[in-house]
Amino acid sequence: MFLLPRFAHRPLCSTRRLHLYKRCTRVRSPRESVQPSKMPIPPAILTPDLQTPSESVYPSPLRQTLGQSVSLLKTGSPPALIPPHPKVPPPTTVIEASKRLAAWTAVDRHVLPEYKVIGIGSGSTVPYVVERIVSQGLARNKDRVFIPTSFQSKELIVSAQLLLGDVDQYPVIDVTIDGADEVDETLNCIKGGGACHLREKVLAEAADTFIVVADYRKNSDVLGKNFKQGVPIEVAQFAYAKVLQNVHLVGSPGATLRMAKSKAGPVVTDNGNFVIDAPFPEEMMRDPYTLLTRIKMLTGVVEVGLFCHMAKAAYFGNQDGSVTVKWHDGRIESVDSGNSPLPPPIGAPQPQYPIGDVSPLSSKKEGPNDDVKEIANGLGSVKI
């Protein structure tokens, strides 16, 4: 199958060429061995009196204390070990369990021990991603830095007591894992149901590997078949009326400004912008890249929730406890966990999802043509 390379859709302006040049000529060995301690430390980290871990970075005295109580350190008492607690309740519905299956499988396979800079997406599937990363243990996570795509994921990172960074400090990310509203056959995605798609796209593009995790309802052949509310378009506030008019002309007469649920007025994104939801007819959604470029050309548009040619793989948790993996080269795998995705009734034996060590597969260098026949990550075997 013919697939465009990841960045083929973008004309190479001089800034981009410079970026690609720097990226290609960067020396990192072995395999992207970024040591946060050796990276340039931004001034904020050197500030001695940062108050709480919810600041944009941890202060340096706390950098060795991940997993320990920050408040104890603030009071000067001896540090006590408190395990990071991502506060994810166990799933009680098949849909939630499917999200967790997808997230855990993707983390086991793509958050490799040598990865030090990790992008965290947004949405209801991502807490399971953070939960599984935390389960890899303090030793593995203490010298990693995590980059959020939203207020929500920033809170997840902070509450799990992981080191928080930002993409302006770490513009090259080893792997970003994110949810999606719908994914088509060639891994084009609709994103932005949670209005986070601007930052999500920046982190997807910054990542050497971009992985999507979702439940079975998001697995589609054509975008817009399942996710009916339309393509999310982030727009500058003052320009929304003109953009809306132009989006109608481009082919979405039903496009509307997204309104907030518990606030009078429109949704305002983490970046202070508005969001338009634009449903397009199926024939336009069959060519999402052309549609993306047409919308992006409208003045006032900040970002479009169509992610084309970006994902390396998409993991979908299924109702029967299996995971379907769609790869960017067209391969489709089925990972059979052999377990129901729902936890068994209280008292019954719990399904075995070993936590901690990553699978033999995970220690293998990734590549688009990995000929994976079997994985031994506790989630079962792979049928290709």
**Residues binding ligand 5RP (CB under 6 A):** 121-125, 178-181, 191-197, 200
User: Quick one: 232 or 300, whose CB is closer to ligand 5RP?
Assistant: 232
Task: Give 311 or 382: the residue with its C-beta nearer to ligand 5RP.
Answer: 311
Q: Which of 228, 373 has the CB closer to ligand 5RP?
A: 228
**Element containing residue 239 per DSSP (H, E):** none
Name the active-site residue from 200, 234, 303, 366: 200
ω into 43 cis (within 30 of 0): no
For residue 199, give the nearest of 150, 127, 129 by alpha carbon: 150
Rounded Cα distance, 332 and 338, in Å: 18
Give the SS3 label for residue 275. Answer: strand
Helix (H, G, I), strand (E, B) or coil at 100: helix
Least gap, CB of 122 to ligand 5RP (angstroms): 4
CA atoms within 13 A on the CB side of 87: 7
The neighbour count for residue 359, using CB atoms within 10 Å, is 16
Residue 200 falls in the annotated catalytic set: yes
3-state secondary structure at position 276 = strand
Q: For ligand 5RP, give the closer residue by CB, 67 or 181.
A: 181
Q: How far is the CB of 128 from ligand 5RP (least distance, A)?
A: 9
How many angstroms separate the CA atoms of 191 and 180, rounded?
A: 5
Q: What tokens does 189 get?
A: 């995605």
Minimum CB separation of residue 2 from ligand 5RP in Å reads 27
> What's the closest the beta carbon of residue 164 comes to ligand 5RP, in angstroms?
19
Residue positions annotated with a catalytic role? 200
